[in-house]
Amino acid sequence: MKNIAIFASGGGSNFKSIHRNIKLGKIFGKIVLLVSNNSNSGAIKYAKKNNIGTFIMDIVKHSKSEIDEELLIEKLELVNIDLICLAGYLKLLPSKIVRKYRNCILNIHPSLLPRFGGKGFFGMKVHEAVIESGIKESGVTIHFVDEKYDSGKIIIQEKVLVRNNYTPKILSKKILEVEHVLYPKIVKAFCEDKIFWENNNPIIKY
Question: Which tens digits make up the pLDDT trace of 71-115?
Answer: 899 999 999 999 999 999 998 998 999 999 999 999 999 999 999
Asked if pLDDT for residue 62 goes beyond 50, the answer is: no
How far is 14 from 188, CA to CA, in rounded Å?
Answer: 14
Catalytic entry in 19, 109, 143, 180: 109
- Cβ neighbors of 25 (< 8 A, separation 6 or more) are none
As a whole-number percent, the residues of the chain with pLDDT over 90 amount to 90
Mean pLDDT estimate for the chain: 94
Classify residue 45 as exposed, middle or buried by CB count within 10 Å of its CB (0-12, 13-18, 19+). Answer: middle
Mean pLDDT of 141-154: 97
Give the global pTM: 0.94
Instruction: State the CATH architecture for 2-108+141-157+176-197.
Output: 3-Layer(aba) Sandwich (3.40)
109 is catalytic: yes
E strand or H helix at 156: strand 154-161
Q: Cα separations (Å) of 91 from 15, 87, 147, 176?
A: 16, 11, 12, 20
Q: How do the domains of the chain map onto residue ranges?
A: 2-108+141-157+176-197
Classify residue 144 as exposed, middle or buried by CB count within 10 Å of its CB (0-12, 13-18, 19+). Answer: buried
Read off the amino acid at residue 203.
I
Provide the pLDDT for residue 16.
Answer: 98
Mean pLDDT of 132-140: 97
Asked if pLDDT for residue 179 goes beyond 50, the answer is: yes
